[in-house]
Amino acid sequence: MLTSKIKDFIFSDLDKNYNFIHVTDKFSAVGIFKRGFNFANPLYKTADMVIENHDWMEFWWQQRKFYGDQIIVISISKLLFEYCANICKHEFDGKINTFQLLNTNKILHFIDGEAQLNLAKNFIKGYIDLEENHIYKNEHFDPYLFKQTEVNLKKYKDYINKQ
């Protein structure tokens, strides 16, 4: 059972941010907390977008609890997300997606034909250790900050222009 304190942490700021959650083990959670979140593109393959509904949250947990006892909470400001989505739509005709613009990997890595991307650690709001019933908050959390956007814009423009 997820406590109200845990749900409050997961549900907070949904008016300003898109929150995503991912279940993992302790070792992986600590690594994500330090280095950012590696994921298969798009993010929805690896993490679930939070819906502010307590029944949904309990249902989600019942389905995911077998994957680990740590919940990673990822949060991206709606302003930044929509800014990147508009660029993808208008400048790239949908050939790339928002998560590719938010990627921090210098080189695209592929595993089983899928691009592996990374979200910077400032998008990691924290993680919840359900075994200890403790929330670890990220002191570097900033859902608005993304320094790589302009670099990625140039990289993808060059890539698409070559095709």
- 60 alpha carbon, distance to own chain's centre: 17
pLDDT score for 29? 96
Which residues of the chain are modeled with pLDDT < 50? Answer: none
Q: CA 122 from chain center: how many Å?
A: 10
- The reported pLDDT for the residue numbered 106 is 64
- Which pLDDT score is estimated for 43? 87
Nearest to residue 74, comparing CAs of 49, 109, 42, 51?
49
The strand order across the sheet containing 37-40 reads 37-40, 114-119, 109-111
Residue type, 77: S
- AA letter at 71: I
Instruction: Give me the long-range contacts of 3-8 (CB less than 8 A, separation at least 24).
Output: 3/133, 5/135, 6/71, 6/128, 6/130, 6/135, 7/54, 7/57
Predicted confidence at residue 49, as pLDDT, reads 95
Q: Starting at the edge strand that comes first in sequence, how are the strands of the sheet with 48-49 ordered?
A: 48-49, 17-24, 70-77, 124-129, 134-137
- CA 140 to chain CA centroid, nearest Å: 15
Chain position carrying tokens 């929330």: 135
117-138 core/surface letters (b: 16 or more CB in 10 A; e: else) = bbbbbbbbbbbbbbeeeebbeb
Give the model's pLDDT for residue 2.
86
| pTM exceeding the 0.85 threshold for the entire prediction | yes
